[in-house]
Amino acid sequence: ADEPLVLGIETSCDETGVGIVRGHTLLADAIASSVDEHARFGGVVPEVASRAHLEAMVPTIQRALKDAGIKASDLDGVAVTAGPGLAGALLVGVAAAKAYAYALGKPLYGVNHLASHICVDQLEHGALPEPTMALLVSGGHSSLLLAPDITSDVRPLGATIDDAAGEAFDKVARVLGLGFPGGPAIDRQARDGDPAAIAFPRGLTGGRDPLYDFSFSGLKTAVARWVEARQRAGEDVPVADVAASFQEAVVDVLTRKAVRACKDNGVDHLMIGGGVAANSRLRALAAQRCEDRGITLRVPRPKLCTDNGAMVAALGAEMVARGRAPSALDLPADSSLPV
Ligand code: KG4
Ligand code: ZN
């Protein structure tokens, strides 16, 4: 049988993404981002994101179809992020997907944003082994997920109890005057810094702390206090050392807990996704710790780690391939959709 040809729409945050895949093959990954419009606010503004999605939706669908070189009538389904995410932003994508699926007479597949962050790796490394362990780290989420079945059974083992990892990068970057989004800037600065220069706290790593949950708010505050103390004393802030030490504290905890979760659950594959998976130190330390423990690490290329439409199409194609039931045309957008 031919592999399913699916178009996926992603609008849970500030990227309008439309991807097209055939099975595990990526055919198009069109993106329109409103990140520049949010930069002057230092974070994503929901109303601005919704309006930008509305303006970008039709042109982005058209660009994806053109890039893929396919006819919309050949699609086997239209997939869309049903949640979690920003309510108004999700609504734009869900309404567009419904209208498009209905007009084409194709089945609609509402998918979970976190599950599609995992499934996207099939476009990079082929079929995901099951169960797979996933560490998802972005500006909106930081979770450890165990996925016995990517289309129907994804279990949260732990999550952040306060800030997401990417949020911590963004806030610390602001303290250091590095701009938004902060992750890439800190990653760059850290290359010239000493990760052992300052001993910043590792959240929730004490003996009685929850094994798989994360906390980055205390770390963020510790960095801000350290920088303020320097400034008050009239001393220069060693930006590269602060960036490297902060980054090390984040990725040390992320990789330690992810590897621990694999071992505890007898899983020998770890995938890392979400925008923070682009972080060079996270990739290096995860590779090292996985190799030490015989775990195969799968990290998609950075463009597939951040929010995009291809990941939605990838999960939609998997649902078609496994004969999962499509969604009804009254599919709701659910900002707090659980996995
Ligand atoms: O997945 P994503 O594009 O959007 C969501 O938040 O859902 O992730 C964006 C986040 C931002 O917080 C950004 O600072 C962070 O990913 N990020 C990074 C890097 N590149 C992006 N964080 C650390 N190092 C990076 N190289
Ligand atoms: Zn995301």
Rounded average pLDDT over 50-63: 95
Residue whose CB lies within 8 A of the most ligand 1 atoms, among 255, 272, 276, for a mutation test:
276
Per-residue pLDDT at 38: 81
> What is the CA 285 to chain-centroid distance, rounded?
19
Residue 30 has pLDDT above 70, yes or no: yes
**Does the CB atom of residue 195 touch ligand 1 within 6 A?**
no
Residue found under tokens 């070189």 = 69
CB neighbours of residue 293 within 10 Å:
12
Q: What range does the domain containing 38 cover? A: 5-120+308-321
Ligand 1 nearest-atom number relative to CA 169: 14
Q: Does one domain contain both 155 and 106?
A: no
What CATH number corresponds to the domain at position 36? 3.30.420.40
Rounded Cα–Cα distance for residues 313 and 22 (Å): 9
Protein residue with its CA nearest to atom 18 in ligand 1 = 183
Ligand 1 nearest-atom number relative to CA 44: 6
Dig out the tokens for 94 from the structure. Answer: 């869900």
The residues facing 158 across adjacent strands are 144
Does residue 329 belong to any structural domain of this protein? Answer: no
Q: Which of helix, strand or coil describes residue 222?
A: helix
DSSP state of 2: P
Q: Does one domain contain both 74 and 146?
A: no
DSSP state of 331: -
The residues facing 29 across adjacent strands are 19
Distance 138 CA to ligand 2 centre (A): 6
Per-residue pLDDT at 1: 58
Residue 47's pLDDT band, with cuts at 50, 70 and 90, is: confident
On average, the pLDDT of the chain sits at 96
Rounded average pLDDT over 213-232: 97
Rounded Cα–Cα distance for residues 78 and 221 (Å): 43
Does residue 328 belong to any structural domain of this protein? Answer: no
Please count the structural domains in the chain.
Answer: 2
Residue 267 has pLDDT above 90, yes or no: yes
Q: Does one domain contain both 170 and 313?
A: no
Which residue numbers belong to the known binding site for substrate?
136-140, 170, 183, 187, 279
- The answer to whether the beta carbons of residues 138 and 275 sit under 8 Å apart is yes
Rounded average pLDDT over 274-294: 97
Q: Does one domain contain both 167 and 218?
A: yes
Does residue 9 belong to any structural domain of this protein? Answer: yes
Q: Say which residue, 38 or 31, is predicted with more confidence.
A: 31
- The answer to whether the beta carbons of residues 8 and 310 sit under 8 Å apart is yes
Per-residue pLDDT at 43: 77
**Does the CB atom of residue 138 touch ligand 1 within 6 A?**
yes
Rounded average pLDDT over 47-66: 95
- The answer to whether the beta carbons of residues 318 and 122 sit under 8 Å apart is yes
Q: Say what percent of the chain tops pLDDT 90.
A: 91
Residue 2's pLDDT band, with cuts at 50, 70 and 90, is: confident
Does residue 327 belong to any structural domain of this protein? Answer: no
Angle, CA of 304, 310 and 311, to the nearest 5°: 70
Residue whose CB lies within 8 A of the most ligand 1 atoms, among 138, 172, 272, for a mutation test:
138
Q: Does one domain contain both 66 and 187?
A: no
| CA distance between the termini of the chain | 30
Nearest in space to 313 (alpha carbons), one of 91, 12, 29 = 29
Residue 125's pLDDT band, with cuts at 50, 70 and 90, is: very high
Does residue 127 belong to any structural domain of this protein? Answer: no
Q: Say which residue, 130 or 35, is predicted with more confidence.
A: 130
Rounded average pLDDT over 305-317: 97
Residue 42's pLDDT band, with cuts at 50, 70 and 90, is: confident
Q: Which ligand is nearest to the CA of 140?
A: 1
Q: Does one domain contain both 141 and 177?
A: yes
Residue whose CB lies within 8 A of the most ligand 1 atoms, among 81, 169, 175, for a mutation test:
169
**Does the CB atom of residue 139 touch ligand 1 within 6 A?**
yes
Q: Which of helix, strand or coil describes residue 31?
A: strand
Q: Does one domain contain both 174 and 203?
A: yes
Q: Does one domain contain both 194 and 93?
A: no
Q: Does one domain contain both 115 and 144?
A: no
- The pLDDT tens digits of the residues spanning 201-210 come to 999 999 899 9
Per-residue pLDDT at 89: 97
Residue 256 has pLDDT above 70, yes or no: yes
Q: Say what percent of the chain tops pLDDT 70.
A: 100
Does residue 125 belong to any structural domain of this protein? Answer: no
Q: Does one domain contain both 89 and 217?
A: no
Residue 180's pLDDT band, with cuts at 50, 70 and 90, is: confident
Residue 181's pLDDT band, with cuts at 50, 70 and 90, is: confident
How deeply is 48 buried, as exposed, middle or buried, from its count of CB atoms within 10 A (0-12, 13-18, 19+)? middle
Q: Does one domain contain both 60 and 136?
A: no
Handedness of CA 256, 257, 262, 268 (dihedral sign): negative
**Does the CB atom of residue 306 touch ligand 1 within 6 A?**
yes
Residue 40's pLDDT band, with cuts at 50, 70 and 90, is: confident
Q: Does one domain contain both 182 and 231?
A: yes
